[in-house]
Amino acid sequence: MRSGVGAMPPAGLVLVGIFCVQLGSALAKGLFEEAGAGGTVFMRVAFAAVILFAVWRPVIRGYSARQYALATVFGLALAAMNLAFYSALARIPLGVAVTLEFSGPLAVAVLGSRRLLDGLWVALAAGGIILLAPIGAFGGLDLDPVGVGLALLAGLFWATYIILSQKTGAEFSGVTGLAIGMAVGAVALVPVGVFQGGVALLDSKVLVLGAGVALLSSAIPYSLEMEALRRIPAKVFGVLMSLEPAVAALVGLVALGEVLQPRAIVAVFLVTIAAIGASRFASGDKD
């Protein structure tokens, strides 16, 4: 399998990872009726933590209290990001949820920039988000305002996750910081997971599907992205990842039958272009 992955072009690895993540989200949405958003996200994070420890066997001893505290905060941000996103996904279409959530990493990409060009990406993204606003004067779309708010909250936590991920990666070797953070996130999600999932978490079918969500949404894409980043510049990686809102809309249509209205399609297009532009022309990146 490793040789097969190594033979794939890096762009292909990233795109396969993106499709895996969105297929995982579609599969997760199918579990909401039985386990709820909380139960599903708990299974995803818990199974992902088990997979990370089983596959990579990270050594978690020998770090300072400050480093463990950083990994803990990182794990809490990871848990909050996923819980907010899955809670939004229970209320609004997948393509819309991912588009709104993408406001987080887009903000990180242009944060602190004073270039006029970056102002264009902000304006495009803002236009897309306004088009999705559940306000008649702007959007007139039949979207749950709570779902929209939760998707934007997920974007805020995603931005926090990105910043903390960079810091955690610099403090821990390999995937150790991620594994610790994932374990912390799983523990933090126990109350909401048990409350919403209830006895469904003891159902073997639900558990198998939950493991599938973890594989598609975490284990497989993380592995593919790690391999891709060894062979392509971070800027190119960012451009490819910017296709995620469009892929989410496509997967939502094919897998879930979620047909987006024209205004929502335009919003997805605007945010995608903004994300591609912000990544492609980011200042300070090395080619």
Rounded distance between C-alpha atoms, residue 229 and residue 216, angstroms: 19
Any idea of the CA torsion for 177, 178, 180, 186, to the nearest 10 degrees? 160
CA angle 41-42-45, nearest 5°?
A: 80
Rounded distance between C-alpha atoms, residue 174 and residue 213, angstroms: 23
Q: What is the DSSP string of 18-32?
A: HHHHHHHHHHHHHHH
pLDDT by residue (tens digit) across 74-117? 999 999 999 999 999 999 999 999 999 999 988 887 776 667 78
The predicted model gives 221-232 an average pLDDT of 80
Domain with 256 in it: 13-280
Residue 3 is assigned to a structural domain of this protein = no
The pLDDT assigned to 86 comes to 97
Residue 234 pLDDT exceeds 80: no
Residue 51 pLDDT exceeds 70: yes
Band of the pLDDT at 226, cuts 50, 70, 90?
A: confident
The pLDDT assigned to 63 comes to 96
Rounded distance between C-alpha atoms, residue 242 and residue 254, angstroms: 20
Residue 40 is assigned to a structural domain of this protein = yes
Residue 235 is assigned to a structural domain of this protein = yes
pLDDT by residue (tens digit) across 10-44? 889 899 999 999 999 999 999 999 999 999 999 99
Give the tokens for residue 113.
Answer: 């920039």
The pLDDT assigned to 139 comes to 45
Residue 204 is assigned to a structural domain of this protein = yes
Q: Are 37 and 101 in contact (CB under 8 A)?
A: no
Number of domains in the chain: 1
pLDDT by residue (tens digit) across 7-18? 788 889 899 999
The pLDDT assigned to 284 comes to 52
Residue 1 pLDDT exceeds 60: no
The pLDDT assigned to 113 comes to 67
Q: How far is CA 206 from the centre of its chain?
A: 22
Residue 88 is assigned to a structural domain of this protein = yes
Residue 140 is assigned to a structural domain of this protein = yes
Residue 209 pLDDT exceeds 90: yes
pLDDT by residue (tens digit) across 134-149? 655 444 567 899 999 9
The pLDDT assigned to 4 comes to 59
Least confident of 72-76, 154-158, 161-165: 161-165
Rounded distance between C-alpha atoms, residue 172 and residue 183, angstroms: 15
Residue 269, SS3 per DSSP: helix
The neighbour count for residue 4, using CB atoms within 10 Å, is: 7
The pLDDT assigned to 140 comes to 56
Residue 7 is assigned to a structural domain of this protein = no
- Kindly report the pTM of this predicted structure: 0.90
What percent of the chain clears pLDDT 70, i.e. is strictly above it?
92
Nearest to 23 by CA among 209, 261, 275: 209
Residue 5 is assigned to a structural domain of this protein = no
Residue 287 pLDDT exceeds 50: no
The neighbour count for residue 39, using CB atoms within 10 Å, is: 25
